[in-house]
Amino acid sequence: MRISTGTGSVTDSELTEVDLFDPAYFAAGDPHPVWAAMRERAPLRRQVLPDGRSFLSVTRYHDACRVLGGHRAFTSERGSVLTQLGVDDTSAGRMLVSTDPPRHVELRRPLNARLSAGTLAAWEDRIRQAVLRFLAPGLDGGEWDVAERAYDLPMTVAGALLGIPEADWGELVRWTAMAAAPDEPEFRVRSGAATLAIAHHQLFEYFGAQVKFRRDQDEPGEDLIGHLLSMTAGAVPLTDEEVVFNCYSILLGANATTPHTVSGTLLALAEHPEQLRRVLDEPQLLPRLVEEGLRWTSAASSFLRYAVADTELSGGRVEAGEAVAVWIGSANRDETVFPDPYRFDVARVENRHIAFGHGPHYCLGATLARLTLRVLFEELFRRCTTVEVTGPPRHLASVFIAGLTSLPVRTR
């Protein structure tokens, strides 16, 4: 997805013709002027697909927070990703992202402690070593592809946390990329539907084998998979199927978005060298750079919910049963919340972005992602003072993830 200033005249007829269900649109197009027009004139826009399915798009920040935060009015148990539109979610009630409170709280609470800031502090050295391996090709001034290499970075941490053998990391990175963006030509096998089916089969089969092996050995382990095997939710142990679903959810959450926040933030720094210079001169701005990178890239592009009850939002009424797509990249540029929202500003103070979602489903791995990004920029700026894009960026074809598949750069 191209990230523009969001300005530009979008007529009502052009707005009607925009297809926000088309992954190719996000690979080749620029939705930001469209989203800006929708926030102004059509904050609750309906799109009907050729097969009769339909969904409502929410683009304003406060509406987005209401939909994502109000589980009594909007459920995630009928699907949380737009590509699932109209298809029952078989993991409902068993996987964190497709489960509403109170069951969601029962599943999430035992995992929170394992991913808290205090617990993850012990992992900082390991994250730093992974970051140094990631940066290695760029330290001699040669050209390297940030986006391609970034795909592997989260796996080096998530794989170790889960207790997955390092020899399997490469395949798992590919399968999670296929699951997150099945219509991306780089990952697609025959068709988007076939790609998604293959990815799900491989991932569920892999984690199923991991769970069976540990059960057979009667040794759950001290890692996250072992924790899922040993923990209780609502005073009841998880079934093997629930363990598999949540292993998949944790890994997909780690691998799907962080790579695109990395490459997208570096692209923004290359395009705004005065902002890069400011961070280099004022290293205390690093935490703000991380937050601005998260807002700017909004790598989790959209979330899906279904209305449980009739609800009023800006622009109209949502009827019970209707599907609602929340566009995170639009909400994070709402002019009523973010001053000068199309300015990449590493010193931004008021930055209440929802890049990690909002409400009960706020990203379980947010602390780990922030830690990884902070360490990455610390190590990068210790060694490099310029980021130069050396070739055209290639954008991901996905309605779920906003990101890059290629970004050749030279760091000096």
> Residue 347: what pLDDT?
97
SS3 readout for 142-154: CEEEHHHHHCCHH
Does 3 map to a domain? no
Residue 143 lies in a domain: yes
- At 14 the pLDDT is 86
Q: What are the tens digits of pLDDT across the range 102-116?
A: 999 999 999 998 999
Q: What is the pLDDT of residues 160-205, one digit of tens each?
A: 999 999 999 999 999 999 999 999 999 999 999 999 999 999 999 9
pLDDT tier for residue 1 given thresholds of 50, 70 and 90:
low
In a domain, 2, yes or no: no
For residue 343, being part of any structural domain is answered with: yes
- The whole-number pLDDT of residue 377 equals 97
Give the pLDDT confidence score for residue 10 in this predicted structure: 87
Note the pLDDT of residue 225: 96
Predicted local confidence at residue 270, as pLDDT: 96
Please indicate, yes or no, if residue 370 is contained in any of the structural domains.
yes
CATH number for 360: 1.10.630.10
Distances (CA, A) of 26 to 19, 279, 346: 10, 30, 25
Main-chain phi, psi angles of 149, to 5 degrees:
-70, -30
Question: Is 317 among the domain residues?
Answer: yes
Question: Is residue 348 scored above 90 in pLDDT?
Answer: yes
Residue 1 lies in a domain: no
| The pLDDT value given to residue 3 | 79
Q: Token pair of 194, please?
A: 């076939």
Domain region containing 95 = 12-411
Task: Find out whether 6 and 36 touch, Cβ atoms under 8 Å.
Answer: yes
Reported as a single tens digit per residue, the pLDDT across 8-57 is 778 888 888 999 999 999 999 899 999 999 999 999 999 999 999 999 99
pLDDT in tens, 358-378: 999 999 999 999 999 999 999
Look at the block and give the residue holding tokens 């009594």: 72
In a domain, 245, yes or no: yes
**CB atoms closer than 10 angstroms to residue 112:** 12
List, for residues 192-240, the tens digit of each pLDDT value.
999 999 999 999 999 999 999 999 988 888 999 999 999 999 999 999 9
Residue type at position 176:
T
Banded model confidence at residue 315, pLDDT cuts 50, 70, 90: confident
Structurally, how many domains does the chain consist of? 1
pLDDT of amino acid 60: 98
Per-residue pLDDT for 330 more than 80? yes
Please give the average per-residue pLDDT across 119-139, as a whole number.
Answer: 92
According to the model, what pLDDT value does residue 379 have? 96
> How high does pLDDT run on average in the chain?
94
**Band of residue 412 on the pLDDT scale cut at 50, 70, 90:** confident
